[in-house]
Chains A and B, each alone.
Chain A
């Protein structure tokens, strides 16, 4: 099971939790496509400035391969403290 977290605006769209990676999802790009097909607002949020993907606590630049052992987080622009 992968763990997926949603922070900020993404947390309005989905609840964080464990889930098996859907069939055909092998990397961050295909996961984003799958989540966007489930909810069109997901793609809108990914396009906003400051949106980021974090895998195993490291910010992803480009596309990263995923497995069911990964911790994945979708973050909207930081608010700061």
Chain B
């Protein structure tokens, strides 16, 4: 599977429903498809979020994401996967990430999608600045993100 062709980092809005429909059409024959859509939150730590500015390092970011997609493919019998990630300026409610996995059976699809999201949240080279009412703040992975990722180290 050519993983790099399944990772898209885009600066324009996207519709997770359309992404899922396209993924499902390509994954004909799969017994299970799991998808996750992440949206820009309207509040963080009880503070109103006005928007997000997300940076990536073209080439480097895709390469790092491809590396953990390859690990997912070795770990679970996936038929297909896709990752769409938005960068640039966004406002609350807009889709920021879409992950989908396809497999013969549900467990592999569920676990691989969960794994990919945990790695995206903690290891992917993105830099996120939240624009809040009380000023702009650079975001780093929290303790929960690190705990979530560590589940896969033990398994």
Contacts and interface: CB of A to CB of B under 8 A. Distances in A.
A interface, size bucket: 10 to 19
Nearest to A79: B128
A77 B85 CA distance: 19
Contacts of A17: none
Q: For the complex, would chain B's binding face be called helix, strand, loop or mixed by DSSP majority?
A: mixed
Given A76-B127, A80-B123, A8 B60 contact: no
B interface, size bucket: 20 to 34
Contacts of B63: 57
Given A7-B55, A57-B63, A80-B141, A75 B120 contact: no
Contacts of B145: 80
B126 interface: yes
Contacts, number: 59
A50 B124 CA distance: 13
B121 interface: yes
B55 A11 contact: yes
B121 A54 contact: no
B46 to A, nearest CB: 20
Contacts of A9: 138
Interface in B55-105: 55, 57, 59-60, 63, 85, 96-97
A81 B140 contact: no
Interface of B: 38, 54-55, 57, 59-60, 63, 85, 96-97, 120-128, 138-141, 145
19 contacts: A7-B57, A7-B125, A8-B127, A8-B138, A11-B127, A73-B57, A75-B125, A75-B127, A76-B138, A77-B140, A78-B122, A78-B140, A79-B141, A80-B121, A80-B122, A80-B124, A80-B141, A81-B85, A81-B126
Given A5-B57, A78-B122, A81-B97, 10 more contacts: A8-B55, A57-B60, A76-B127, A78-B123, A78-B124, A78-B126, A79-B127, A80-B122, A81-B38, A81-B96
